[in-house]
Structure 1
Amino acid sequence: MTLSPAPALDSLNDAGRSLLFTEARTANTFADVPVTDAELSQIWDLAKWAPTQANLQPLRVVYVQSPEARARLVQHMSDGNKEKTLAAPAVAVLALDSRFHEHVPTVMPFMPQLEEVFEGNEDARYSTARLNSALQAGYFVLAVRAQGLAAGPMSGFDSAAFDADFFPDGRLKSFMVVNIGHPGEGAFRNRLPRLDAAQVVDFA
């Protein structure tokens, strides 16, 4: 494998840091402004570039858009999440692909033997999928924000019931719902405290 020269890296300016981190918050209401299919595709076109273990990319994204599918999804949401999920301009369900290793020849072409390794070790396959799909979920939320949209990520839904309804073959396992759109009136609650570096960071 030939390594290309490393480019010089620029730091994100204050506006970019604000958009992605310091001023960004979870949205609870959304304006009545459509989110286009092109915008939703562009979210993944950003999120896909962030790193995963061995480039395995086990996350799968299902945009639940039709009124019929949205009504089915809402049945599986916890009561506090039903109204905002029904009203959001776009909704993504994030799931892990339990058969992600079938794509190893494409995403890791110089180590095709990994496909057989994961095929023969279900525990390793699922632990790898859980960790890396959760990592990708964080990238996904940042990609939503980078598109100038607000995200409302939630775990408050019956994932087993949803999977039985939407993924009957058992291959995909849902773990998060993300409402997406432009923030509406009262979308953002007051920001809760964050732990500072002295409480979290150490240097060994």
Structure 2
Amino acid sequence: MTTTTLAPALDDAALDLLFHEARSVHTFAEGAVDPAEITAAYETLRWAPTAMNISPLRLTVVPVGAPRERLARHMAEGNRAKTLAAPLTVVAATDPGFHTRLDTLAPTRTGLAERLETQPEQRAEMARTNGLLQVGYLLLALRARGLAVGPMGGFDADALDADLHAASGWRSLLVVNVGRAAAPDGTHPRAGRLSADDVVVTLG
């Protein structure tokens, strides 16, 4: 008889940290955040799944000072001040040239890199879909390290990429402010969520 061993589940405290009590934060407490936190978060999230392990997420860390002011020029007006004030900011992007790393990431996918080389539109779609998936992992990895996050989509992506990613060709997805929440929590009152009854359908 085959026995199944269940993986240990996270306890309520961990689930609160990641989900139940976690909030998107717009106002952070004073105090710098070491850029090494982003490196550590990535070292965790890189093991989470993407399609064929293509792993297209790329991260541009933007510290306070001239680099942040440069980034802020591309943010929407409503996001500019909070981006300048955040302890640390990260531009989450994708690499449309992810296929050039498939010898490391997917060595058993013989010929895939060569096929994708001639399919830039398919590469861009794959990179965006899987990059957004990895951004979700990034937010959870940062929360798991005790940090608060404020992801934003309000910015001029084309101008940002022309300025910050011209050499790499990366394409920005979201800008994420990172820090520790200001007391009491630096957030607006929490909005409602749809229940499982509204969104989960089991086929019979």
Q: TM-score, normalised on structure 1?
A: 0.93
More divergent stretch after superposition (15-24 vs 61-70): 61-70
* Alignment match, 1:99: 97
Task: Report the residue type matching 1:101 in the other structure.
Answer: H
More divergent stretch after superposition (10-19 vs 178-187): 178-187
Indicate if the aligned counterparts of 1:88 and 1:181 stay in contact, CA closer than 8 A: yes
TM-superposed deviation, 1:13: 0.4
- Structure 2 gaps of 5+ residues are none
More divergent stretch after superposition (189-198 vs 37-46): 37-46
Indicate if the aligned counterparts of 1:104 and 1:112 stay in contact, CA closer than 8 A: no
Indicate if the aligned counterparts of 1:163 and 1:170 stay in contact, CA closer than 8 A: no
SS of the residue 2:177 aligns to: strand
Q: Deviations over 1:96-141 (max 9, x none)?
A: 1010000000011122421112112122111111100010011111
Q: 1: distance between equivalents of 2:88 and 2:81? A: 13
Q: Say how many residue pairs are matched.
A: 199
TM-superposed deviation, 1:39: 1.7
In the alignment, does 2:16 pair up with 1:31? no
**Percent identity between the two aligned chains:** 42
* Alignment match, 2:201: 202
CA pair 153-85 structure 1, distance change in 2 beyond 3 A: same
- Structure 1 gaps of 5+ residues are 1-5
* Alignment match, 1:49: 47
1:52-131 equivalences in 2 (<5 Å): 52-131=50-129
Q: TM-score, normalised on structure 2?
A: 0.93
TM-superposed deviation, 1:45: 1.1
Structure 1 outlier segments of 4+, above 6 Å: none
Q: 2: distance between equivalents of 1:59 and 1:118? A: 17
Indicate if the aligned counterparts of 1:58 and 1:133 stay in contact, CA closer than 8 A: yes
Indicate if the aligned counterparts of 2:35 and 2:61 stay in contact, CA closer than 8 A: no
Of 141, 144, 151, the residue aligned with 1:153 is 151
Q: 1: distance between equivalents of 2:39 and 2:166? A: 25
1:9-20 equivalences in 2 (<5 Å): 9-20=7-18
